[in-house]
Amino acid sequence: MLKSHEYYIEKLAMVVMLSVWFRVIRVRFLLASVIAVSVGLALNWWQNSSIDIFDAGLTFAGVMALHASVDLLNDFWDFKRGIDTKTTRTKMSGGTGVLPEGLLRSSSVYRAGIAFLIIGTVIGGYFVVTDGITIAVILGFAILSIFFYSTKIVDSGLGEFFVAVKGAMIVIGTFFIQSGELSLESILAGVVVGSLSSLVLFIASFPDHDADKSKGRKTLVITVGKKRGATLFWIFPLVSYLAIIVGVSASLFPVFSLISFLSVPLMIKSGIGLQKNYDSIENLVPFMSSTLMFGRITGTLFVAGFLLGSIT
């Protein structure tokens, strides 16, 4: 029996609405948290040759929920403060555009953000019960930073710092859940991941400089200025690379971790592109994308280094 015309219209509407929600959650940016969890799991596999699949799956779910929460709440507050109506939106910056375009109600986005925060908190609460105070500290930091990120934290100029700490804590927490240990290796691996995550946020703030500044935000780029900020770009990847070198030199990481340096050409391309185009949104977009790609490739290679080290 052929289905009615209304049935297909209804299904199409559902697909469109789902794509809108994926857009406001910024699904492709969730990969940063996937990599962070993967680093913690790979480090544990290299050291202990074991993975608790249930805990690993639950960790992914909890971290994804918390990441989605901060993105949703960020979109809500940027819209409420009028920032997203003043930005030039690109695929890498300026918000998702969902609320300014009227595709969703701001109240719905806020409620979804809180719902994901609750889901992540409940999952984290399970690990607090099973793994103790260390996870409680990490979870407490995550909840407070997510809830206040788009207002108090960003307004104080600490956005990049908190993103770096968030990335590091995901690695540390994942490793702790699997191994029951808080180790120097996990902290150093967290530095690698946190610096890469912070770099993506840093370069994405260049096009939003004027809009953010007019509404009271205080990003690192606003604090130091675009020209000086373009020079600061190099600090983030150098911190990640230096942490890898220290880790390998001290036998905290396998020597295969050095394959992460295969991303150096992409880093150079992105950094030079930023220095030449920091004041041109249109010309900067390709280098923002290459910076995102640099972070993802470096993180993936870092994971691969641990996996290769475990089979030799």
CATH for the 30-44+51-77+100-309 domain, from 1.10.10, 1.10.600, 3.90.660, 1.10.760? 1.10.600
Give the torsion through C-alpha atoms of 175, 177, 178, 179, to 10 deg.
80
Statement: residue 170 has pLDDT above 50: yes
Share of the chain above pLDDT 90, in %: 58
pLDDT score of 1: 45
pTM for the model: 0.91
pLDDT at 5: 64
Q: Is the pLDDT reported for residue 102 higher than 90?
A: no
Distance CA 79, CA 90 (A): 16
Cα distance between residue 307 and residue 311, in whole Å: 7
- The residue count of the chain comes to 312
Question: Residue 56 — pLDDT band, cuts 50, 70, 90?
Answer: very high
Counts of helices then strands in the chain (DSSP H, E): 14, 0
In the predicted structure, residue 300 carries a pLDDT above the cut 60: yes
Question: Cα(first)–Cα(last) distance of the chain, in Å?
Answer: 59
With a cut of 50, say whether residue 63 has pLDDT above it: yes
**Tokens, residue 134:** 């260390």
For the stretch 111-168, pLDDT in tens is 999 999 999 999 999 999 999 999 999 999 888 888 787 777 777 778 888 889 989 9
Predicted confidence at residue 94, as pLDDT, reads 67
Between residues 157 and 79, the one the model is more confident about: 79
Q: Quote the CA–CA distance of 85 and 143 in Å, as a whole number.
A: 28
> Distance between alpha carbon 134 and the CA centroid of its chain, in Å?
22
CA-nearest of 310, 294, 214 to 261 is: 294
pLDDT at 193: 96
